[in-house]
Amino acid sequence: MSFVDILIGIFDGFGVTASVTLWGMAYAVPFALVFGILQHFTTGPVRFAVTSIIEFWRSSPVIVLLFVFYYTLPTIGITLSGITVAAMALGLNIGGYGSQAVRAALQSLDPGQVEAGKALGLRRIQILMLIELPQAFKAMTPTFINQFIQLIKGTALVSLITLTDMTFRAKEISQLQYDPVGTYTALLVAYFIVCYPATIFGRWVEKRVAISERTQGEI
Amino acid sequence: MQVDALIGSRCASQRSEAAVDIVSLNKWYGTFHVLRDVDLRVEPGQQIVICGPSGSGKSTLIRCINQLERHQRGQIFIHGCEVSPKTRALHELRRDVGMVFQHFNLFPHLTVLQNCTLALRRARGIARQEAEDVARHYLERVRIPEQMGKYPSQLSGGQQQRVAIARALCMRPKVMLFDEPTSALDPEMINEVLDVMIELARDGMTMLCVTHEMGFARKVADSIVFMDGGRIVEQAPPLEFFANPQNERTRTFLGQIL
Q: pLDDT > 70: what percent of chain A?
A: 95
Give the whole-angstrom CA distance, residue A164 versus residue A159.
6
- Nearest CA distance, B17 vs chain A (angstrom): 23
Q: Is B151 on the interface with A (CB under 8 A)?
A: yes
Q: Is A219 on the interface with B (CB under 8 A)?
A: yes
Task: Report the CATH number that the domain containing residue A160 is assigned in CATH.
Answer: 1.10.3720.10
Q: B144: exposed, middle or buried (C-beta count within 10 Å: 0-12, 13-18, 19+)? A: buried
**Tens digits of per-residue pLDDT, A80-97?**
899 999 999 999 999 999
**What one-character-per-residue DSSP string does B56-94 give?**
SSHHHHHHHHTTSS--SEEEEEETTEEE-TT-TTHHHHH
Contact (Cβ atoms closer than 8 angstroms) between residue A53 and residue A35? yes
> What single-letter amino acid sits at A171?
K
Enclosing domain of residue A183: 3-217
Q: How confident is the model at residue A203 (pLDDT cuts 50, 70, 90)?
A: confident
Q: Given an 8 Å threshold on Cβ–Cβ distance, is A121 in contact with B91?
A: yes
Q: pLDDT > 90: what percent of chain B?
A: 89
Q: Is A111 on the interface with B (CB under 8 A)?
A: no
Nearest Cα to A12, choosing from A199, A161, A169, A138?
A169
CA B148, chain centre distance (Å): 24
Angle at B68 between CA A135 and CA B10, to 5 degrees: 125
Residues A126-155, mean pLDDT to the nearest whole number: 92
Q: Is A79 on the interface with B (CB under 8 A)?
A: no
State the first-to-last Cα distance of chain A, in angstroms, to the nearest integer: 62
ipTM here = 0.92
Q: Count of domains in chain A?
A: 1
Give counts: helices (H), strands (E), chain A.
Answer: 10, 0
Q: Given an 8 Å threshold on Cβ–Cβ distance, is A115 in contact with B105?
A: yes
- Determine which of A108, A120, A216 to mutate to test the interface with B (most B C-beta atoms within 10 Å): A120
Contact (Cβ atoms closer than 8 angstroms) between residue A91 and residue A25? yes
Kindly tell me if the per-residue pLDDT of A165 is higher than 50. Answer: yes
Give the whole-angstrom CA distance, residue B160 versus residue B172.
19
Neighbours of A34 (CB within 10 A): 14
In this predicted structure, what is the pLDDT of residue A205? 84
Q: How many beta-carbon contacts under 8 Å exist across A and B?
A: 73
In this predicted structure, what is the pLDDT of residue A208? 81
pLDDT < 50 regions, chain B: 1-9, 12-13
**What one-character-per-residue DSSP string does chain A give?**
--HHHHHHHHGGGHHHHHHHHHHHHHHHHHHHHHHHHHHHH--HHHHHHHHHHHHHHHHS-HHHHHHIIIIIGGGGT----HHHHHHHHHHHHHHHHHHHHHHHHHHTS-HHHHHHHHHTT--HHHHIIIIIHHHHHHHHHHHHHHHHHHHHHHGGGGGGGT---HHHHHHHHHHHHT-HHHHHHHHHHHHHHHHHHHHHHHHHHHHHHHHHHHHHH--
**Tens digits of per-residue pLDDT, B79-89?**
989 999 888 88
